[in-house]
Structure 1
Amino acid sequence: MGIPADPLASGITVTIKYGKGYEQPWAVFHGTTEQVREDIATFFGMQPDDVAGLTLSDLVANATTAAQAVGALTSGLGATVVESRNSPPVQTRPAASRPPATDRSSAWEQATAERPQAEPAANPLLALIAQAPDVRSLERLWAENQDAFADPAVTAAWKVRGRSLTRAG
């Protein structure tokens, strides 16, 4: 009987950080390229149709942008992440390979009972910011949409994407 194979010896590992430094959370994905791809999409709640044409690198970039935006909003502005009623859970793997689902209905009922007002529509500028290919494009979005930057979520996402593009370039 030999030594068991190292599970990290084959496949790839992708780490997505929510911010700078070790005090910020991160998510680590390991496996084949396709497993990592599925895990990232599932972890970040991305729909299979939305990621089908993306390379793994592009998917990681989008997930990193999303993670850093969430990190900036929660730590910098004190925002809280809540479950969306409009997005069904992403199911990219067979049910047998997923952990059992937990019942979140009571948490959702409690959250909606505390805030009976209607949810605001998602700001379409956030998607444009996340998709900006370079700093120049971000600057153009800022110049053309000054009123939208009164929304702290837009400003935070814009700053996070700018930092991400600056580091990458």
Structure 2
Amino acid sequence: MTDDDSPWGARGISVTIKFGKGYEEPWVVFRGTAGQIKTDMLDAFGLDAGEYAAFSLSELIINVRNSAQATGTLRKELGGQVIRPGSGAKPVAPAPGQDVWADAGSAPPAQAPSVEDILGKEIDAAAGRTALKTLYGENKATFDASEVLMAAYKAKGKSLPAGS
């Protein structure tokens, strides 16, 4: 299809690609025929014309818009920046505690104790059989599902004096 055969013809159209939702976010406007806009969009976003040759203008607009908005999100929400290869530019260091790649090598955060660990400590701390039975009654399903807890429960019960 040539520009003359397109539904827009020589009248020209306008396409706006926004890098975010807000008015303060950057945007780029393309004007011209469908073919001109397609060429300009491919150039502006550094896309391979051969790879997008079969795309309609609307399909290209959707892909470019998605790319632009993803770039805007990376910049705004995650502090990303564009660095051209060979430019010699150095990335700006993220704020302390916000570099997920640096944090990836550090020790994992301490895991919360498991339910078994918590109940195991409560079994050990039980002062009498009544308190132990109450603990069991409140957590019966967990005790019944854990051989470790049941063994600790029975051992603690045997170690406590009767009637306590």
**TM-score normalised by length of structure 1:** 0.46
Using CA pairs under 8 Å that are at least 6 residues apart, name the structure with larger relative contact order, 1 or 2.
Answer: 1
**TM-score normalised by length of structure 2:** 0.48
